[in-house]
Amino acid sequence: MEDHVAIRCTDPKVSKYSMDDWHVSVTEHHILKSRGIEREVPVANSWRQARIGAEEQVDHPKPYDWTFTTSYTGTLTGTWSVQPHKEGLDLSLLQRRDPILFYAETMLFEDELGDNGVAMLSVRFRAMATGFFLLQRFFLRVDGGLVRVYDTRLQWRKSDDYLIRDVRQMESSSWQPSMVGVCLMEADRVCDKLIQHRCEKLFPTA
């Protein structure tokens, strides 16, 4: 039996790991279905005022998400059954210091938003004798706007015949001066608005 969990992006760079009947493939590919923010960066108005009378059209923004926000939670290949999972991730197992047999970390993309903040999407994966754990994190900081963190976690325990997928999307409800320079590792403490949270079991089916 070969079951695959794939994270995809452009110009594929593939990392693979196998454990028993599970085969995990982390593949860089195009990230679709992004969602931006409605707020402007602080310099937008002064930039617009400086171009009053210019021939170029500045009233209508270009139709793309300049924050690169993505709600992508992974691609399941093959046939899977998805069911709600009230128990959530096995945190006690994740907190154990089991020897790590394999570890990989990949930055899928990063952009400084024209010196107005940062947007990045990264994936971390580790495998132990007891199972594996994957974290995909999208981090966004728009200076003068907001901070946003979208996390997707996948966990498999060796005794299970399913994956646990936990999706949590959060952002700051307002901008505070103390958020200037907030980095990826500090983002959780300033994101006080829950946008979405769901946990589910993923069963591979024949």
Please, how many CA atoms are within 13 Å of residue 32, restricted to the half-sphere of its CB? 3
The whole-angstrom separation of Cα 54 and Cα 183 is 37
What local confidence, expressed as pLDDT, does residue 54 receive?
57
The helix (run of H) or strand (run of E) holding residue 41 is none
Average pLDDT of the chain?
80
Phi, psi (5° rounding) for residue 186? -105, -5
Structure token digits, residue 62: 């270009």
Over residues 43-62, the mean pLDDT reads 57
> Minimal CA–CA distance to 81: which of 167, 203, 198?
203
Over residues 31-39, the mean pLDDT reads 46
What local confidence, expressed as pLDDT, does residue 62 receive?
55
> In the chain, what percentage of residues exceed pLDDT 70?
69
Cβ-based neighbour number of residue 55 at 10 Å: 5
The whole-angstrom separation of Cα 125 and Cα 132 is 7
Per-residue pLDDT of 94-151, as tens digits, reads: 889 999 999 999 999 999 988 888 999 999 999 999 999 999 999 999 888 889 999 9
- What's the pLDDT band for 75 if we cut at 50, 70, 90? confident
What's the pTM? 0.73
Over residues 18-23, the mean pLDDT reads 70
Task: Report the range of poorest mean pLDDT among 35-39, 63-67, 122-126.
Answer: 35-39
